Amino acid sequence: MNFNNKTLLSSFTLPNGVELKNSIVMAPMTNFSSNPDGSVTDAEVNYYARRSKGVSMVITACTYVTPNGKGFHGEFGADNDDMIPSLKRLAQAIKEQGAKAILQIFHGGRMCPPELVPNGEIVSASDIPAVRGGVSTEEPDVKPRPLAESEVEEIIHAFGETTRRAIEAGYDGVEIHGANGYLIQQFFSPHSNRREDQYGGSVEKRMTFPLAIVNQVKKVVKEHATSPFIIGYRFSPEEPETPGITMGDTLKLVDTLADQGLDYLHVSLTDFFSTPRRGVEDLNITRIEYLLDTIDNRVPLIGVGSIYSAEDARKAFETGVPLLALGRELIIDPDWVQKVSEGKEEDIVTEIDKNKQEELVIPDPLWNAIINTPGWFPGVS
């Protein structure tokens, strides 16, 4: 083993005692490849299995907890018990390769395409349309309907029920998806949340919904899990909108989350070394550094964002971040971890090879999205 890669390849123990075989995680990425009824396809199962051998933990693409939370075409579901066999197939495929299987649970809120949700009715914290992504970006007249308090409680309960299904399906944990502009973030954001009840107002009140979901998930795990079960939480540090989430808001949220008994926090970044837009004194200090300082070793942080080479990973670990997620890179080269562990890091592929879809075991819908989205993946222009 190259000494420089020691951190990367060493085992890591989460707060609940679960040991990860190394510090590299597969990031959650939508793959658009499930059946219309929300069940997983053979192509999807094979795609995950191909990438589950080297990493210590695989976080799945997001799965919806209620029918009105489906955010993507080809997204797999976990909103009722009939989905447990489908969920189980995916968990087994990941675990058979030696990785922990983490189910990412989510509600799309105002980002859901109307054609995917009952009666075409999209819901959110308030009736504010999205300005980036989501149907309301193209059709400003399409406003989300504000959720009634009773509906908010039902969704909180649904996150718990999906956690129970994850336990029954054999997953090792769940990741609460509070990032990327979806419903949990919509409640935390002053852009999308203009409520005047217990779920809106100050930054502390806007934490009510995210924290209620965390507590519900913890409660269900305590009731139903017979062995240590991982609970993570993903968040986005900032929004460009005004009003919108600032880095300062996120540090308050993270400070609170760090005391909730979670097993990890997972920041969503396009660039690991990016710096804040606003809300903190020094805009030259990276977001990761601010987060690590705020967390102060209370809970592990997973960093992510444009890590392609082993050298990129080593630089990331030098910040003190204990865990690193690879997303696009594991699509480009599923054997990334194995190559590092075998001292063959010079063989790591860092640009997508347009002639190797079959060899890379990438389902057609995801492949088409990669090839037809210039700039998303290195090698696609």
Q: Which residues are annotated as catalytic?
A: 182
The separation between CA 41 and the C-alpha centre of its own chain, rounded to angstroms, equals 21
Helix (H, G, I), strand (E, B) or coil at 177: strand
Measured at the CA of 138, the angle between CA 134 and CA 144, to 5 degrees, comes to 50
The kind and range of the H/E element at 361 are none
> Which three-class secondary structure state does DSSP give residue 26?
strand
User: Which residues, in sequence order, are bridge partners of residue 62?
Assistant: 104
Q: Which two tokens stand for residue 221?
A: 């795990």
Say which amino acid occupies 300: P
Cis peptide before 276 (omega within 30 of 0): no
Within 13 Å and on the Cβ side, how many CA atoms surround 87?
30
Distance CA 150, CA 157 (A): 11
Please, are residues 66 and 79 in contact by the beta-carbon 8 Å criterion? yes
Decide: 354 and 321 in contact? Cβ < 8 Å: no
What six digits make up the tokens of 18? 């679960």
Task: For residue 334, give the nearest of 314, 358, 318, 311 by alpha carbon.
Answer: 358
- Dihedral through CA 16, CA 20, CA 22, CA 26, nearest 10? -100
- CA distance readout (Å), 249 to 140, 185, 231, 233: 27, 12, 22, 16
Helix (H) and strand (E) counts in the chain: 14, 12
- 3-state secondary structure at position 154: helix
Looking at residue 146, its amino acid is: P
Residues 323, 312 contacting (CB under 8 angstroms):
no
